Amino acid sequence: MAYQLDEEEQLILATVKKFLEQEVAPVAAELEHRNEYPTEIVERMKEINLFGANVPEEYGGLELSYTLFAMIFEEISRVWMGLAGILGTHTVLCDVLARFGTPEQKQRFLPLLARGEKRGAICLSEPQAGTDLQAIRTTAERRADNYFINGSKMWITNGRRGEMLLILAKTDKEATPVYTGMSAFIAEKGEPGLTISRDIDKLGYKSLETCELLFEEFRVPAENLIGGTEGAGFKQVMTGLEAERLNVAARGLGIARAAFEEAIRYAQQRRTFGKPICEHQTIQIKLAEMATKIEASRLLIYSAAEKKDQGERCDLEAGMAKLFATETAQECALEAMRILGGNGYAKDFPVERYYRDAPLLIIGGGTNELQRLIIARNLLKKYALNPV
C-alpha cells in the first residue's frame, strides 16, 4: 500500500474498527433480518463523528483524506453494508455543499450535518431517469424569493429519516444542452408539498429505507440554491458522484473481503473425503482468484482516492475502481456461497447476506454498464491521436 496513515489517521481507523467489531457485528444479522433501523448504532456513529467524515474541520468535521474515507467505508461494509448506506448519501450531500455552497450555506448547514443532527439524502433518480440524469422531469420554478419544486424522485436512500435533501431539478426546461438548465438545491423537510409515498421493498440492503418522494409545490428558499447560480446543478452533482463511486467501490471491497474471510475460514474446518476442503485443488483455485481480485480492487480504489486527494479529476480511476471492486464483490459472494454449500444458503451464516447486498453495488452509484462507457470515453480522451 503506497498510502501510509499518520498517527491520527491510524487512531481514527482503529476507533471505527473497534466500534464495528464490538457494537455492530454482534447485532448486524439480527437487525438486518428483521429489517429494523439501527437507531442506537446511528447515535453512536454521531458520537464518533462519522457523519462529519468529509466535512471541513472549520465546520466541525474530520476532513478525512479520500483514502482514509475509502478505508472506513470498506470496514463498515465488511461488517454490515446497510450502515454504509446510512452514511453514504449523507457524505455526497456534504461533499457537494463543501465544494460548491456559498459561504452562508456552508456556515448554516455543514456544522449540523457534521454532528449528525441533520442527516442527508440525495434526490436525483426518477422513475424514468436513473443512469441518465439529464432525462429528469422534476422542475423548480422561481417565484419571488422562493423556488417551488414539482415532480417525483425514486430510489431515495434515507428518504424517510434524512432531514436535508439534495434535490436536482430543471430550472430551465428549454436549455440546450439539457444539463445547463439543471440546478441543485439543499432543502430542509418541514414545508408542505413533500410526500414520502412508499418504502421500496428490496432484496438486500435492509434496515435502511429506500423511498419514493413526491413534490407538489414544495417551497425551497432561493437562498438554498447551491452556489447561488442556476444551471450549475448537474456539474455539481456529478462531482459529488465521483466521490460516491469511491465509497461504493470501497463497499464492494468490504463485502468481497467479508465473503472471502468467511470462505477461507470455513474451508479449513469443513472436511470431505478425509481432509479439509481447502486441500482440494478446486477450492484452492477459488480462494486464489478471490484473494487476487480483492487485492486488485484495493489498489484501484487507493489509486483513485490518491488522485482525488491531490485535487485532480479521477473519473477514469474512480470508474475503474467502482466497476472492478463491485463485480469482485458479486463474484466473491457467489463463490463463498458455493464453498460453504448448503450453509452458504442458510441465514445462520452471513454469506447469504453478502450475496443479497452485492448486486446493489453493481446497479447503484451509476450502473456498471455506465462505468464501462465512462472508462472508454476517458481512455479515448487520454489516448487521442489528435488531442484537442
Report the relative pairing of strands 210-221 and 194-199 from DSSP bridges. antiparallel
Say which residues have a Cβ less than 8 Å from residue 267's Cβ, sequence separation at least 6. Answer: 276, 277, 278, 283, 287, 339
Say which residues have a Cβ less than 8 Å from residue 285's Cβ, sequence separation at least 6. Answer: none
Q: Report whether 188 contacts 176 (CB < 8 A).
A: no
Alpha-carbon distance of 214 to 229, in angstroms, equals 25
3-state DSSP helix/strand/coil % of the chain, to nearest 5? 60, 15, 25
The one-character DSSP state at 294 is H
Q: Which of 32, 126, 212, 244 is catalytic?
A: 244
Q: Is the CA virtual torsion 160, 37, 92, 49 positive or negative?
A: positive
Q: Which of 264, 252, 188 is nearest to 223 (CA)?
A: 188
* Active-site residue, 244 included: yes
Cell numbers given for 66: 479520500
Nearest-5° Cα angle at 75, 70 to 78: 120
Q: Report whether 50 contacts 16 (CB < 8 A).
A: yes
Residues with active-site annotation:
244
